[in-house]
Amino acid sequence: MRPSAALAPLFRRPGALALAACIAALAPPAVTAGVPASYATGSQAFVAEQAQRLGYSAEDLATLMAAARYRQDIIDAMNRPYEAKPWRDYRRIFLTPARIDAGVAFRREHAALLDKAELTYGVPAEVITAIVGIETNYGANVGRHRVLDALSTLGFAYPSRADFFSKELGEFLLLAREEQVDPRTAVGSYAGAVGLPQFIPSSYRAYAVDFDDDGRRDLWGSDADVVGSVGNYLAMHGWQRGAPIAARATLTDGVPTGIPVAGKRPALPQESLAQLGAAGVVPAAGALADSPPADARVALLELDGDGPEYWLGFENFYAITRYNQSNLYAMAVFQLSREIAAGSVPGPVQGPVQDSVQGPAQSSAQGPALSPAQGSGQDSARQVADDAAG
């Protein structure tokens, strides 16, 4: 909604701006071409129902929400089925020489922080690095959408997940106050994930840590907070210090019957290594540096690489899927982490680097960023491509 020419001069005065926005917001919903009616009615209902809980006066929240804009391109991005890609394509997007090299550089540049996070949370430095690398290309693409626009658009005009995103909008407003972030200017992905590690607001509030002890949790501007928060997130979602993540599986008797085989959707590791061994499924020779105990829990995975690939996903693999609920995502993190480790440390690393880079080199700056850490319990989380870098 743009001011008319007659009103425009008023808008140069700050006080008048707030007053005019407030009046506009309290008026009946305006019908704007291309904007679903639910957007305005949803926004008004949000103000009426949530202002008190969020610690706003109705007038102040209405003024803020009047600054939000419906964005059709955000709806379009949500509807692009990126998770439908097979593993062989997904892998080529994320396991590029550029992304590996930048990961080795990030690992080196932030060695002290990453080592401290590994000590604190038990999550290997290269795993934290790989997550930041896949989420935002190490901060090169933290998203270019206003969070206020993204979460209001999805909260009020994306019916299949409106409840989830309107709740995240509330979380964002609380977060903005708690961390002294301007809700009018904060940017993130089209799905409202923010900062280098792409935390959705509820995850930010629950799991981000102030790893540089400056009194704020800043996932946009503090490398320390970014690194510590990724480690804490995984630790809080079941990461086991020193335990394996995944290993290529050898099937001595073909695909076993009676053992569930997961595809792209995360599966709790429920079988023991001993049970799988009895069914002819064992870790590939050399895939693990140390033999895990026979009662270690694993899930058998089948990914569509160049032909079917079978993998064992341990508890730590499942923990990565709590960050982004896709086995493709977790496998990309795992393999990128191994490449980064191999490029960072002279001498042997744990096990061979599996399925190293294939396909032509691709500028990782043009690679899509994933959707956010969706928090636990969101089984419809999406891994969709952001529409462009920057």
Residues that bind Ca ion (CB under 5 A): 210, 212, 214, 216, 222, 225
Question: Cα separation of 197 and 194, whole Å?
Answer: 7
Q: How far is the CB of 373 from Ca ion (least distance, A)?
A: 18
Question: Cα separation of 217 and 235, whole Å?
Answer: 17
Of the residues 83, 118, 126, 135, only one is catalytic, namely 135
- Does residue 188 sit in helix, strand or coil? strand
Q: How far is the CB of 175 from Ca ion (least distance, A)?
A: 14
- Does residue 91 sit in helix, strand or coil? helix
Closer to Ca ion at the Cβ: 113 or 127? 113
Beta strands in the chain (DSSP E): 145-146, 187-188, 246-251, 261-262, 271-272, 281-283, 297-305, 307-314
CA–CA distances in Å: residue 346 to residues 335, 341, 342, 349: 18, 9, 8, 8
Closer to Ca ion at the Cβ: 93 or 209? 209
- Residue closest to Ca ion when measured from CB atoms: 210
Tokens for 224? 């320390």
* Distance in angstroms between the alpha carbons of the first and the last residue of the chain: 26
3-state secondary structure 111-175: HHHHHHHHHHHCCCHHHHHHHHHHHHCCCCCCCCEEHHHHHHHHHHHCHHHHHHHHHHHHHHHHH
Q: Give catalytic status of residue 135 as yes or no.
A: yes
Q: How far is the CB of 195 from Ca ion (least distance, A)?
A: 12
**CA 296, chain centre distance (Å):** 28
Q: How far is the CB of 350 from Ca ion (least distance, A)?
A: 32
Closer to Ca ion at the Cβ: 168 or 225? 225
Closer to Ca ion at the Cβ: 92 or 216? 216
Closer to Ca ion at the Cβ: 63 or 229? 229
Catalytic residues: 135
